[in-house]
Amino acid sequence: MSMDWGYVKYTNGIVLNILKNLATQAGQAIMGIYATDFAVQSKEDNSPVTIADQTANDMITKGLKKYFPKYAILSEEAKDDLTRLMNDYCFLVDPLDGTKEFVKRNGQFTVSIALTYKNRSVLGVIYAPVMQQMYYAAKGDGAYLKDLATGAVKKLSVTNKLNELIWVGSESHSSAKEEELIAQHRSLISEVIQVGSSLKGCMVAEGKADVYYRFGVTAEWDTAAMQCIVEAAGGICRQMDGSEMLYNRKHHLQEKGFYMVNRKENIWV
């Protein structure tokens, strides 16, 4: 099997279908736990974790190892194996993105899977199980949203707006810097929305929001699938200093913050 991007690009429909199926299966398992009186524990960084996180992680990583045994995996809920650094291909997995939203039972959580090639995100799948909405993209082939309840599929595109902008921010991670940036550009912003998980990036890709800024530390698995979807929909994704967002690095934390916007004119940092 050829191990280059040309091969993956040729077969990206097959790869995407596998990722979508794994995300759907994990989402179904998560929903089964969502309906129960599940326990909530704390990690070393005091972030919450539930049996749903680990169950979804086990399902996804088992499937990825079965179908792509030569590819590396970096998951939030698994021990990091730094041999991944020697692999051009690495899956980034957030099996339950938005655990705080899951615990709050507000439905704003997702299953997020991305494939990176030579440090760049090239395939992305984000599934919101409560809404039964599947966002997905392949680099160079567009971004799409499938409603699993109806089967309807639509191609996604960011807006062209320069004013009357909709700002989308974090439900659980807002910051003073975000508030300051909103205040500085209040004349251009018509609405501020707070949403959990990777749904924020999906809203930009879908044209339901125009700008998304996130200050502070995130992890690679938080942004890889979002970035692929937003960029495939015509958006711009960068770190706050304008540098490229890269993946499968030794230190998987992203400390510069990032933005995902519809147009270059709305880059405000």
pLDDT in tens, 119-178: 999 999 999 999 999 999 999 899 999 999 999 999 999 999 999 999 999 866 678 999
Question: Taking a C-beta distance cutoff of 8 angstroms, is the pair 191, 169 a contact?
Answer: no
Do residue 148 and residue 79 come from a single domain?
Answer: yes
The total number of structural domains that make up the chain: 2
Please tell me whether 96 is known to bind a ligand. Answer: yes
Distance separating alpha carbons of residues 235 and 137, to the nearest angstrom: 13
Please tell me whether 94 is known to bind a ligand. Answer: yes
Residue 160 within any structural domain of the chain? no
Distance separating alpha carbons of residues 96 and 107, to the nearest angstrom: 12
Residue 105's CATH number: 3.30.540.10
Please tell me whether 37 is known to bind a ligand. Answer: no
Do residue 134 and residue 73 come from a single domain?
Answer: yes
Distance separating alpha carbons of residues 163 and 190, to the nearest angstrom: 8
Residue 193 within any structural domain of the chain? yes
User: 53: domain range?
Assistant: 5-155
Tens digit of pLDDT for each residue in 221-262?
Answer: 999 999 999 999 999 999 999 999 999 999 999 999 999 999
Please tell me whether 97 is known to bind a ligand. Answer: yes
Identify the domain boundary among 137, 155, 173: 155
Kindly give the residue spans of alpha helices, DSSP state H, lying in the chain.
Answer: 5-10, 12-34, 51-67, 99-104, 176-184, 199-206, 220-232
Tens digit of pLDDT for each residue in 23-44?
Answer: 999 999 999 999 999 999 999 8
Do residue 74 and residue 138 come from a single domain?
Answer: yes
Do residue 56 and residue 99 come from a single domain?
Answer: yes
| pTM, two decimal places | 0.95
Please tell me whether 255 is known to bind a ligand. Answer: no
Do residue 88 and residue 190 come from a single domain?
Answer: no
Question: Taking a C-beta distance cutoff of 8 angstroms, is the pair 118, 106 a contact?
Answer: no
The separation between CA 95 and the C-alpha centre of its own chain, rounded to angstroms, equals: 10
